[in-house]
Amino acid sequence: MATFTDTTGREWVIVLDVNGLRRVRKRLDLNLLALIVGEAVDRLADDPVLLVDTLYVLCEAQAEREGVSDEAFGAAIRGDVIDAAVAAFLEALTDFYPSRKRAILRQLIRKGGEAEDRILAAAETMLATGKIDQILHASLSPTPSTDSPASSASTPDP
């Protein structure tokens, strides 16, 4: 079961079924099944508000039972909770599919996580070693021009 805990300590259960997919598509104009292709992933990754709205639509019945408004839900999802919520969402998404596709999706998600870990580790190393400062300095420093005008001695008279 895909769950995450928000900053207030409330546990949320994400169940992804056809009804949830339909609600998200209708209310947010987002086809969650396009996540495999990448379009929806890009939209969710680039827009944390859309991500939280998607999670709310999927958890709405539970939120209504517990008297949690969409504003209160959104206010309780920040920081590390976002990572936990994304992990739970991806688990719910993979659980939606039949076992054969589910296995492939889990591998893809794991590989994506490994790539993200490598990128973050490289960024941390660049910051710790000062390499990022060197790159920024080099990109912002004026470079000598090689387009200087030819000397008058080599320019023919008209």
The identity of residue 35, as a single letter, is L
**All residues at 6 or more sequence positions from 49 whose CB lies less than 8 Å from its CB, including other chains:** 74
pLDDT tens digits, residue range 65-91? 999 999 999 999 999 999 899 889 989
Longest dimension (CA), the chain: 90
Instruction: Lowest mean pLDDT of 4-8, 59-63, 85-89, 98-102, name the range.
Output: 98-102
With residue 12 as reference, give the H or E element that holds it: strand 11-14
The domain ranges of the chain are: 2-96, 100-130
How many beta carbons lie within 10 A of that of residue 16, not counting itself?
A: 20
pLDDT tens digits, residue range 111-157? 777 777 788 788 888 888 888 888 888 888 776 555 555 555 555 55
